Amino acid sequence: MREGTFTILYMIAVTGVFTAAVSGVNGLTMERVELNRKFHERRHVLGALDLTEDPDLDPMEVKRLFQERVSETGWPGREKPLYVRLDADGRPEGYAFPIEGPGFWGPIHGFLGVAADPASEHAGEGDALELLGIAFVSHSETPGLGARIQNKEFTEQFEEMTLTPPKEEGARWIELQKEGAALGPNEVHAITGATRTSDAVETFLNGSFHEILKALRSLRAEETAREKEGD
Amino acid sequence: MTEQALGPFVVFFAAVFTNNILLANYLGMCPYIAVSRQLKAAAGLGGAVIFVMTCTSALNYWVYYYLLVPFGLEYLRFIAFIVVIAAFVQLTEMIIDRVSPTLYNALGIFLPLITVNCAILGANLFMIIRQYAFFQSVAYGFGSGVGWTLAILALAGIREKLKNAPVPEALAGPAQAFIITGIMAMAFTAFTGMIPIE
Amino acid sequence: MPLTQDDAKTIGAVFLKAFWKDNPIFRQVLGICSTLAVTNLLSNTIAMCVGLTFVVVMSSATVSALRNWTPRRIRMMVQTLIIAAYVIVVDLLLKAHLPAISKALGPYVGLIITNCIIMGRCEAFASNNNVKASLIDGMGSGLGYSLVLLSIAVVREFLGFGTILGTRVVGDSWVQWTIMVMPAGAFFMLGLFIWFARWAQTRSRTEQEEGSP
């Protein structure tokens, strides 16, 4: 056999063998990986909907809470699923909107939990977004720096925040300030040393509130219509 | 898919300054340290890196989106990209050897070094992670190459000047190079916020 | 087969060379990218060290086993292929069984492929030595790498966050040296470590030379 032919055959054989081995492992782990991913996402959805304070909730609890308190619906006008937090009577209490945007190393995906109807003091103001919480499901940020957006210290700032559309055109709904600075009603602390990640999060969050408010109004209208029919 | 479409120019500038693949993402260190003693060698390697990075960005973009994704084989991207990079470098080496033996002698040793430059694979992986479109990917590849070359030229320039400075033996060489790079990284951090990439 | 006296000496010699005398990081200056990227947190560093050691040992062994068959021309491509395959396996196993660690390491796992240490050992040692020796050399390199990374990580996490393995070890008034967890800090720490390690090596070598009759 000529040297050149052997080389090519060898390359093909080696590529084939190792690709097959890798595919084999992939096949074996695929189900587990998907289960892990689903569980991981659900745990974050529960956090965003403020159904749990525990970042390490165990799988059985996650499953139970999901069965009892969460359902799915569609984002009006978009091809995306929304998670719905249900109260004891099965009526929507809140929605978890998927949010995403570019981070520093890669895209950041998460959920923003919003109350279905604003609490008493803002009732009647169809314009308020009452946040239940926020959760970042995936990102590629630097561990210990940008990755801290997943930490409780950062995410709990968003719980029970109420946001209203800014008065000026193009102004921001929410602002991230330096750690240690005094905070206004629509401000949270950024992450020290992770300026780029913090800026990225601020930008894509602000870009999404308008859409979310629109969707919320639409969902409320649907719900009201459904209740009327039920009477 | 990321909603905001970043123009290729913005991606290019960010890759060179604010998201410099070497100073911010730590990729491509080994050849950077090894070849930065002389400005001329650094320039030669840098040029080759820019060429390979730009071309493989385009090639691997097609491989990923037209070969791997349609068949659900994304998990094989590491293997696929590396094979493409290695094959491309090998091909380039053979072509240069045939077309211009003088150029081959000047560049020759650099080409095998490039295959193991983690910056190349890294840049290709990042463009997938960040879901860049085709022209953004090519701009990113080109920009990363330029950014990497900028860093190695800067270091080579400094090291050449320091060649005759009295430095303790254990400090000379890589140790010194890293401390210089640290200062450069600090300087480049100042570019943050200059270009609103996100 | 029981190990003979000679075997033990060879194993020891090979290991020591890979671990200390030719330490991949401070002597050969390889595998730097990950050294800088993951050492800002000790927990991630440990995961990375385990992952890399596994890949370098397995890859060296495999490359060594195939060394008499692999044509010279495609040597590097074949090595890269083997390394990539093992890294994907590690990545998948982590995602399936240790998802928290997989998330923490994220993009760095894939970058083990281009870690010059693995390629360096495969090329310099495994392609010319038998499987047993290659296994030991891989082990030595992996542990030598781990030694450096863990040392740097302890300092960076401590100075940068005031924690070790996530637990706070300093009082509230401690001001964090945030620069330590950013790229610049990584470069400085590495530079200082190499300086110190090389100085220590030179000193012990001169002592040995002066000490011998």
Stretch 175-204 of chain C: residues touching chain B, C-beta under 8 Å: 179, 182-188, 190-192, 194-196, 198-199, 202
Domain residues for A76? 3-230
Q: B-chain residues within 8 Å CB-CB of C191?
A: 174-179, 181-182
Rounded CA separation C119/C130 (Å): 17
Structure tokens at C169: 């070890």
The predicted pLDDT at position B198 comes to: 37
pLDDT band, residue C63 (cuts 50/70/90): very high
Model pLDDT for residues A192-207, shown as the tens digit of each residue: 777 788 888 888 888 8
Distance CA A134, CA A111 (A): 6
Segment A152-170 shows an average pLDDT of: 80
Whether residue A122 is predicted with pLDDT greater than 60 in this model: the reply is: no
More confident residue, A142 or B37: B37
| B74 contact residues in A (CB cutoff 8 A) | none
Residue B194 within a domain:
no
**Which residues on C lie below 8 Å from B34 (Cβ)?**
29
CA-to-CA distance for A128 and C97, rounded, in angstroms? 42
Residues 6+ apart with CB under 8 A from B66: none
Disruptive mutation site among C95, C97, C164 for chain A (greatest number of A CBs within 10 Å): C95
Q: Which chain C residues are within 8 Å of A147, Cβ to Cβ?
A: 104
Among A144, B24, A14, B79, which Cα is nearest to C91's? B79
Gap between the Cα atoms of A116 and A108, Å rounded: 25
- Long-range CB pairs of C100-107, under 8 A, 24+ apart, other chains included: C101/C47, C103/A40, C103/A138, C104/A143, C104/A147, C104/C41, C104/C43, C104/C44, C104/C47, C105/A143, C105/C38, C105/C44, C105/C47, C105/C48, C105/C51, C106/A140, C106/A143, C107/A105, C107/A106, C107/A140, C107/B125, C107/B126, C107/B129
ipTM: 0.74
In this predicted structure, what is the pLDDT of residue A139?
Answer: 83
Domains in chain B: how many in total? 1
Torsion of CA B93, B99, B105, B110, to 10 degrees: -30
H-run or E-run covering C5: helix C5-16
CB pair distance less than 8 Å for C81 and A3:
no
Digit-coded pLDDT (tens) for B93-109: 778 778 777 777 776 66
Q: How far is CA A95 from CA A114, A133, A134, in A?
A: 5, 10, 11
Whole-angstrom Cα distance, residue C154 to residue C161? 11
Over the stretch A35-75, which tens digit does the pLDDT of each residue have?
A: 888 888 898 888 888 888 877 788 888 888 888 888 888 88
Question: CA–CA separation, A217 vs A222, rounded Å?
Answer: 9
Do B29 and C33 lie within an 8 Å CB cutoff?
Answer: yes
> Do the beta carbons of residue C39 and residue C164 sit within 8 Å?
no
Question: Which stretch of DSSP H or E encloses residue A107?
Answer: strand A107-115
Contacts of B80 in chain C (CB under 8 A): none
Minimum distance, in Å, between the CA of residue A107 and any CA atom of chain B: 6
- A103 with B198: Cβ contact below 8 A: yes
Domain count, chain A: 1
- pLDDT (tens digit, 9 = 90+) per residue, B114-141? 776 778 888 898 888 788 889 999 999 9
C122 touching chain A per CB within 8 A? no
- Is C179 within 8 Å of B186 when comparing Cβ atoms? yes
A187-189 and A175-177 beta bridge pairing:
parallel
Name chain B contacts of A200, Cβ cutoff 8 Å.
198
Which of B25, B76, B116 comes nearest C119 by C-beta?
B116
Is some CB atom of chain B closer than 8 A to the CB atom of C92?
yes
Residue C49 pLDDT more than 80?
A: yes
- Residue B195 has a pLDDT of 56
Please state which of the ranges A8-22, A138-152, B144-158, C75-89 shows the lowest mean pLDDT. A138-152
In the B/C pair of chains, how many CB contacts fall below 8 A? 125
- CB–CB contact A107 B130 (8 Å): yes
| Low-confidence winner among B103-107, B181-185, C81-85 (lowest mean pLDDT) | B103-107
- CB contacts of B30 in chain C (<8 Å) are 29-33, 116
Q: Which residues is A96 bridged to in the sheet?
A: A83, A113
How far is Cα A203 from Cα A101, in angstroms, rounded to an integer? 8
pLDDT at C4: 60
Q: What is the pLDDT of residue B14?
A: 84
Determine phi and psi for C79, rounding to 5 degrees. Answer: -60, -45
The half-sphere exposure of A157 on its side-chain side, counting CA atoms within 13 A, is: 20
Would B154 be classed as within a structural domain?
yes
State whether A23 and B76 contact (CB < 8 Å).
yes
Determine the Cα–Cα distance for residues C75 and A183; give it in Å rounded to an integer: 60
CB–CB contact C85 A6 (8 Å): no
SS3 A81: strand
Taking the CA of residue C133 as centre, how many other CA atoms within 13 Å lie in the half-sphere pointing to its CB? Answer: 16
- Chain A residues close to B197, C-beta within 8 Å: 102
Chain A residues lying within 8 Å of C106, measured CB to CB: 140, 143
What are the C-alpha distances in Å from B108 to residues B29, B86, B95, B112, C73? 20, 15, 11, 8, 15
Mean local confidence (pLDDT), B35-41? 82
For C87-96, write each residue's pLDDT tens digit. Answer: 888 888 888 8
> Does any domain span residue B197?
no
B30 contacts C32? CB cut-off 8 A:
yes
CB contact under 8 A, C92 and B168: no
**pTM of the shown model:** 0.77
Q: Does C96 touch chain A (CB under 8 A)?
A: yes
HEC readout, C54-113? HHHHHHHHHHHHCCCCCCHHHHHHHHHHHHHHHHHHHHHHHHHHCHHHHHHHCHHHHCCC
Q: What is the pLDDT of residue B131?
A: 82
Q: Are C38 and C105 in contact (CB under 8 A)?
A: yes
Given this model, what pLDDT does residue C65 score?
Answer: 92
Helix crossing, C5-16 with C131-161: angle to 10°?
A: 40
* Number of CB pairs, chain A paired with chain B, less than 8 A apart: 50
- B176 belongs to a structural domain: yes
Return all residues near A128 (Cβ < 8 A) that are at least 6 apart.
A118, A122, A162, A163, A164
The residues in B 157-186 lying below 8 A from C, measured between CB atoms, are: 168-171, 174-179, 181-183, 185-186
- Nearest Cα residue in chain C from A33: C96
Check CB contact under 8 Å for A25 and C92: yes
List of chain B residues whose C-beta atoms are within 8 Å of the C-beta of residue C186: 26, 182
Identify the pLDDT of residue B8. Answer: 86
- A-chain residues near C89 (CB < 8 A): 21-22, 25
Look at residue C60 in the predicted model and tell me its pLDDT.
Answer: 93
Q: Report how far residue C106's alpha carbon sits from residue A108's, in angstroms, rounded to the nearest whole number.
A: 13
Element (H, E) at B83: helix B77-99
Which of B19, B192, B198 is the closest to A203 by Cβ? B198
Convert the pLDDT of each residue in B55-89 to its tens digit: 999 999 999 999 888 888 888 888 888 888 888 88
The CA–CA distances, whole Å, from C162 to A134, A178, C165, C177, C187 equal 27, 19, 10, 9, 19
User: B149 to each of B143, B156, C139, how far by Cα in Å?
Assistant: 10, 10, 34
| Host domain of residue B108 | 20-189
Residues of chain B that touch chain A, judged by Cβ-Cβ distance less than 8 Å:
2-4, 6, 18-19, 25, 75-76, 79, 83, 126, 129-131, 192-193, 197-198
Q: Is residue B45 part of a domain?
A: yes
Q: In this complex, is the C-beta atom of C43 within 8 Å of any C-beta atom belonging to chain B?
A: no
Cβ neighbours of A194 (radius 10 Å): 25
What is the structure's pLDDT at C7? 63
In the predicted model, is pLDDT for residue C208 greater than 70?
yes
In a domain, B5, yes or no: no
d(CA C46, CA C49): 5
Neighbours of chain C (3+ CB pairs under 8 A): A, B
Sign of CA dihedral C15, C18, C23, C25: negative
- Tell me the nearest-neighbour CA distance from A172 into chain B, angstroms: 15
Angle at C61 between CA C59 and CA C62, to 5 degrees: 65
3-state secondary structure (DSSP) of residue A70: strand
Q: Tell me C179's DSSP state.
A: G
CA-CA distance, A13 to B73, in Å (whole number)? 19
**Residue B193 has what pLDDT?**
60
Nearest CA among A53, A81, A79, A77 for reference residue A65: A53
